[in-house]
């Protein structure tokens, strides 16, 4: 089994910062890719930032220059540093991972439960 445990969401004023964390745990053989998506009310889920299986980083255009994704490989953990937050960043942020378990089970996109990020004055 695998779990993605997210933390770090909350309420922050415009222009503020938040740091999200996501740790994958369980009977993991390997995590090939990890990242963050978000879903605002009434909108489709969209990529925010992610590490691909080759190690490169992908960002939503609006996140470039404001958000930074990083990881601690030995801990199967990924972080999302979000700066200069805007009202439009309000959403539920979901961690996702491409992960293979020790029993051979493979998930191309396993999802966490999500953490709420609210930007409000």
Q: What does DSSP assign to residue 87? A: G
20-32 mean pLDDT: 96
Q: In what order do the strands lie in the sheet with 18-26?
A: 2-7, 18-26, 77-82, 67-72
Structure confidence at residue 75 (pLDDT): 78
For the chain, the average pLDDT equals 96
Three-state secondary structure call for residue 61:
helix
Q: State the pLDDT at residue 11.
A: 97
2-23 mean pLDDT: 97
Residue 74, pLDDT above cutoff 80: no
Residue from 45, 53, 28, 58 nearest 94 by CA: 45
Mean pLDDT of 102-119: 96
């Amino acid at each position: 089994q695998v779990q993605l445990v997210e933390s770090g969401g909350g309420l922050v004023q415009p222009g503020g910062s938040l740091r999200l964390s996501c740790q994958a745990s369980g009977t993991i053989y390997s995590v090939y890719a990890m990242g963050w998506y978000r879903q605002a009310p009434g909108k489709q889920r969209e990529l925010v930032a992610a590490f691909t299986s080759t190690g490169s980083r992908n960002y939503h255009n609006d996140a470039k220059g404001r958000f930074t994704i990083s990881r601690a490989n030995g801990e199967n953990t990924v972080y999302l540093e979000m700066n200069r937050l805007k009202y439009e960043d309000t959403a539920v942020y979901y961690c996702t991972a491409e992960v293979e378990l020790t029993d051979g089970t493979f998930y191309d996109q396993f999802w966490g439960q999500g953490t709420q990020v609210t930007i409000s004055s």
